[in-house]
Amino acid sequence: MDKFEFPKDFYWGAATSAHQVEGNNHNDWSEWEKATNHPVSGRACDHYNRFREDFDIAKSLSHNAHRFSIEWSRIEPEEGKWDEKEITHYQEVINALRERGIEPFVTLWHWTLPLWVAKQGGWENKKTISDFARYCEKVTQSIQGIKFWITLNEPDFYARNSYLFGFRPPQKKSFFKFLKVFFHLIKAHKISYTIIKKIGGFAGISQNNFYFNLFLNKTNKQQDFIGVNYYKYWNRGRIKNDMDWSIYPKGLYYVLRGLKKFNKPIYITENGLADAKDEKRLSFIKEHIKWIAQAIKEGADVRGYLYWSLLDNFEWDKGFYPRFGLVEMDYTTMKRIIRSSSFNYKKIIEENSVEL
């Protein structure tokens, strides 16, 4: 078998998002959880207080990159009022990563909104574009040490689920509102991109593999890189994860091959599976990395791989039952237990290579 060597500056790590791991967030999602029969995130993984412990684990697993999101509702709980204590907190998060030799990939918006934004109509309201730009400007000017910025996470996926299919907050079913939200998100990204370029950062969007062409054709000039979130490729693949999603690693190769035409650096910003027994995770990671290697051999400019997720976490409307983590969470004691597959991933990272 051939061994493929990744570039020496390749980024390896894992990802999280604020609402799914921090705990005790107060935003439109937390209010929706309380108002409906959906699971409540509560203290989640208490990552807000335990981030240093979690980053120690990431370092012990040889990660050199980590993706996380800043919670807008913490930074600006009321319109135009900044919480400097929370800004200091996120600076401490960045510092903790830097001290451990881990490159931060920072997401500015990962689906949740401050309550005041939600009350004015969220992304339906054109005003939210300028509100988000103001938030982006405040964060980029206040928090130092960030090179890679992800403005939006899966904006089209969000618009579809919340405004077309209507099963996530604010649970509206309207094609007109879907289009309005979609185009407002595009404008928000373009303005934020300009703001990030002023400080010399690199900016892009993390997008679900199903919707790349729809979004990237409209934002290609305002992206320094492409963030790929890949979980499944339609329903191909006979093996399923705990959420009954088909596992099809070769689909990632097809996605990466299709993205070559945009001539941008590519980072895998999410790729993982729900696997409580940790029986399929090792094979899942290895096979996806093999197909990334094949794509690179054929000219795809892939520069990093971030597994989803570092920790078991709150999986939105599905609650806590899906177990995506490299690290198992005991939600009663908040104890972190490193899964065996994580050590095999560590070996791939340290060798910086994979057998094809």
Q: Is the entire prediction scored with pTM above 0.95? A: yes
Contact status, residue 104 vs residue 148, Cβ threshold 8 Å: yes
Given this model, what pLDDT does residue 2 score?
87
Backbone angle region of 200, left / alpha / beta, with phi > 0 → left and psi within -120 to 50 → alpha: left
The one-character DSSP state at 240 is B
Given this model, what pLDDT does residue 211 score?
59
Closest CA to 282 of 247, 236, 255, 312: 247
Counting the structural domains of the chain, the total is 1
Given this model, what pLDDT does residue 217 score?
73
Look up residue 88 and give its amino acid: T
Q: CA-CA distance, 177 to 175, in Å (whole number)?
A: 5
Three-state secondary structure of 321-336: CCCCCCEEEECCCCEE
CA distances from 166 to 29, 136, 176 (A): 14, 27, 13
Token pair 């500015």 in the structure block, residue:
108
Q: State the residue range of the domain holding 244.
A: 3-355
Given this model, what pLDDT does residue 282 score?
97
Non-local CB neighbours of 347 within 8 Å, separated by 6+ positions: none
The sign of the CA dihedral 271, 186, 266, 197 is negative
Q: CA-CA distance, 120 to 134, in Å (whole number)?
A: 16
168: domain CATH number? 3.20.20.80
- In degrees and rounded to multiples of 5, residue 244 shows phi and psi of 65, 25
Given this model, what pLDDT does residue 160 score?
93
**Which mean pLDDT values do the consecutive 10-residue runs of the chain (356 residues) have?**
92 98 97 93 98 98 98 98 98 98 98 98 98 98 98 95 95 96 96 97 91 71 95 83 94 94 96 98 98 97 98 97 98 98 98 93
